[in-house]
Structure 1
Amino acid sequence: MYCRYYDCERKEIPGSAWLGVVFPESIVECPRRVGAEFVSVSKKLEKEAPTPVRLVYRAYKEPIHELSVCVAPLYGNQSSWLPIVDFMEHNKLEGASYFYFYVGEISSYDERILIDYVRTGDMEVVKMQDKYERVFIGWHFLQIQDCHLRSKYHSKWTAFIDLDERISTHGQRMIDLLRSIQDPAIGEVQMQLLSVIKDEDYPHKFVNLEALEKEMIFKKYNKTIGPSWQGQKVVVRPEKIGIMSIHSAVAKYPGIRTLQLEPHKVVVRSGNSISAHLRRTKYRIFGSDWHKEADENGNLPVIQNTPLPQKFSEDLHKAIVRRVLHVYDRIPMNCSLIPKVLQSMLNHPDPCAQMWPSF
């Protein structure tokens, strides 16, 4: 694929084209060009390239975030406004300062919470749309590669987790655990998975505080199985990784090593970290009784009650309530206070009868 470079007026820079390499999947490596503001790619140099896109500067000398989170694509028709708030506020308490969200499908109601987090500078949202049809897993693979490069030089550490997962440490925040890693050869940190049983649907909309209290995810779902290395998740140094996959780094640069954090060996690993994964018992691809099935030795899973620490729960509760009320607790307009002269000046209908004009 040829890299095509354009100036600020979207005019192609003469002699700037470069024959790039597609590696890994869906990624074309294009070197920097002086004066380039937009870029596109084409299979043949003599053919017109697709509409160029603006380059986003991310080549910082030092990352501007210590810990960011790449979130797997949102899809399906399950309500996601409450999971998004719980996910964001939980991982922010662990030290994450920025989130890369990828959206395939989302309702307008759920999207309001994403818009608010963008407003406050906590996240950026990438809409997953293209002229080529893809099955979901195809979008997921594309998202992994895109977010790996998007976070490179932008964040020192990047976690790759799903919306139903929470990084949960014991005794210290995840950001503090990562700060304690002094070995520059460590480029990947692997975490075991603690499965949390979720057997009900999330609420469709915010009703009131009383209903929200009953649906708080971190309070309602605490029955757990594990932890286990099956389905592990990782936090990586993006610039030290060659290729990312869903659960691990497929290729690391020479000399870069992996550090595994055992949940019961804090002294050995300088910390104790698990990634909590809310596994639904309804609508699962592999059936709804995964938490009741025996292993290869005939042993049934051991279900435990594993609530979050009290102080963490209190801080999380405050953060969730604050954000939910700001976004979804709408304050009705007192239309009687709108001056009549303003209505007549704008030729606007009576706001008490009709909030928006019809055209």
Structure 2
Amino acid sequence: FRNAVTCRYYDCNRVEIHSARFKSRVWPLTVISCPRRIGVEYVSVSFDDDDEEDVQEPIPLIFRDYESIAESTKYTLEYLRLGWMFHLLQTHVCHHRSKFHSKWVVNMDIDERLVYTGPFNLKHYLRSMPSFIGEISFATNRVLKTEQVPERFSSYAQLFEDMFFLKHNKTTEISWYNLKGIIRPELVASLFYHWSYFQFEGVRVMSVPRRIGHVRYYRNMNKSALNGNWIENYNGTLSETRLAPSFEKKLVRAVKKRVKYVYDQRIVRCEEIPEWLTSRFRRELLDCKFRYE
């Protein structure tokens, strides 16, 4: 609260518009006010201008529907009736929201990593696609995840030992079984989980050669889970593979930073909040406790 913060603005390519930076403050409560800027498609904030790692991931500026003071979502209860098929609804919500503000959408889960091994970088590769390509599909290999991630954080030493991208490295061959796609949303009408099911007229899907890239999927070995017999679709040969060392280091730092953000929290003391705020807002809204409580 009341800390100095910098609003940072980005164009459609997520290149920062340095001249548009704006000095603001966290006020009131947890609100950061960033004024409008011409030509801006993404916005982010930072609390330390000298630390580039402090900059939060830019988020797109889009129009959304609100009811009262909260964004409206109509799908929460559907999981009770649809089970894991609910994932298809989630995928389509993401797909339709991303139309016209994201040129490409990576349709993958949090336990999957896109490994690009082609020339230059992935952005350059996507920009080289003809205008009629609505999806590029990647083959996958699977990393055997033989243990579950602990439910609770105990220590940073234990966290390092349990990072599954360091711990699990036995890998299948790269296969087109259960491919994953990167979608151009305005060219695709509907999806089937991780790839497009129906494209508009004249739109084509392209399979990416394995030498260009693949998806690394950390998959559990629980046979009672959905598609628990997945390993039968591979040839049975396993090899030890890892992510690129430089990326592993960045990922380790990012995980530690996120865990620290979640767990290194403390209760806000009511004595720390200015009196004019405590007299204006209800105690329940401030969510604070007095020292003697």
**TM value normalised by structure 2:** 0.63
Please list, as runs of the form range in 1=range in 2, the aligned pairs for 1:267-278 lying within 5 A after superposition. Answer: 272-278=212-218
CA distance in 2, matches of 1:157, 1:235: 6
**Per the alignment, in what secondary structure is the counterpart of residue 103 of structure 2?**
strand
Does residue 303 in structure 1 map to residue 243 in structure 2?
no
2:12 aligned partner? none
Q: Does 1:164 align with 2:111?
A: yes
What SS class does the counterpart of residue 176 from structure 2 fall into? strand
Give yes or no for contact 1:141–1:245 (8 Å, CA) kept in 2.
yes
- Residue in structure 2 matched with residue 12 of structure 1 by the alignment: none
In the TM superposition, what are the counterparts of 1:309-348 in structure 2 within 5 Å? 309-330=244-265
**Contact map agreement 2:105 2:185 (CA 8 A) in 1:** yes
Amino acid at match of 2:116: T
1:351 aligns with 291
Measure the CA separation in 2 of the matches of 1:200 and 1:132.
26
Q: CA deviation at 1:156?
A: 0.6
In structure 1, C-alpha distance between the alignment counterparts of 2:263 and 2:161, rounded to whole Å: 17
- Measured against aligned partners, the alpha-carbon deviations of 1:249-282 in whole angstroms (never above 9, x if no partner) come to 1211122111111213xxxxxxx11111111012
Q: Does 1:177 align with 2:96?
A: no
Aligned mates of 1:130, 1:195 — CA distance in 2: 32
Question: For 2:252 and 2:72, how far apart are their aligned partners in 1?
Answer: 25
Give 2:237's aligned amino acid: V
Residue correspondence of structure 1 range 169-208 to structure 2 within 5 A: 169-170=116-117, 172-181=120-129, 183-208=130-155
Is the 1:188–1:259 contact (alpha carbons within 8 Å) kept by the matching residues of 2? Answer: yes
CA distance in 1, matches of 2:72, 2:116: 27
Match of 1:211 in 2: 158
Answer with 1 or 2: which has the greater Rg. 1
Letter in 2 for 1:251: F
Unaligned runs of 5+ in 2: 1-38, 43-56, 61-70
Residue aligning to 2:203: 256
Q: TM-score, normalised by structure 1?
A: 0.53
1:1-359 matched pairs, under 5 angstroms: 64=41, 128-130=75-77, 133-170=80-117, 172-181=120-129, 183-264=130-211, 272-282=212-222, 284-285=224-225, 290-291=230-231, 293=232, 300-330=235-265, 351-352=291-292, 354=293
**Paired position in structure 2 for 1:119:** none
Identify the residue that residue 74 of structure 1 maps to in structure 2: none
Offset of residue 225 of structure 1: 0.6
Aligned length: 219
Rounded Cα–Cα distance in structure 1 between residues aligned with 2:220 and 2:72: 25
**Residues 64 and 155, structure 1, Cα contact 8 Å, conserved in 2:** no
Go from structure 1 to structure 2 and tell me whether the alpha carbon gap of 1:138 and 1:313 turns closer, same or farther (over 3 Å shift): closer
Q: Which amino acid aligns with 1:280?
A: N
Q: Distance in 2 between matches of 1:349 and 1:132?
A: 36
CA 1:184–1:163 in 2, change beyond 3 Å: closer, same or farther? same
Amino acid at match of 2:122: M
Question: Helix, strand or coil: the match of 1:145?
Answer: helix
Which amino acid is 2:126 matched to? Answer: L
| Structure 1 residues 206 and 245, CA gap change in structure 2 (3 angstroms) | same
Q: Give the percent of matched residue pairs that are identical in Structure 1 and Structure 2.
A: 28
Residues 57-110 of structure 1: per-residue CA shift (max 9 Å, x gap): xxxxx9947xxxxxxxxxxxxxxxxxxxxxxxxxxxxxx9669xxxxxxxxxxx
The alignment's C-alpha RMSD in Å is: 3.6
Cα distance between partner residues in 2 of 1:184 and 1:274: 22
Q: CA deviation at 1:162?
A: 2.1
The residue number in structure 2 matching 1:31 is none
Cα distance in 2 for partners of 1:63, 1:227 equals 40
- Conserved in 2, the CA contact under 8 Å of 1:197 and 1:222? yes
State the 1:185 CA deviation. 1.1
Question: Residue 160 of structure 2 aligns to which amino acid in structure 1?
Answer: E
What amino acid sits opposite 1:320 in the alignment?
Answer: V
Looking at structure 1, the residues matched to 102 and 244 of structure 2 have their Cα atoms a distance apart, in angstroms, of 28
Q: How big is the shift at 1:177?
A: 2.5
1:63/1:154 contact within 8 Å kept: no
Letter in 2 for 1:301: G
Deviation at 1:244, TM superposition (A): 1.4
Q: Which runs of 4+ in 1 moved over 4 A?
A: 96-99, 124-127, 286-290, 345-350
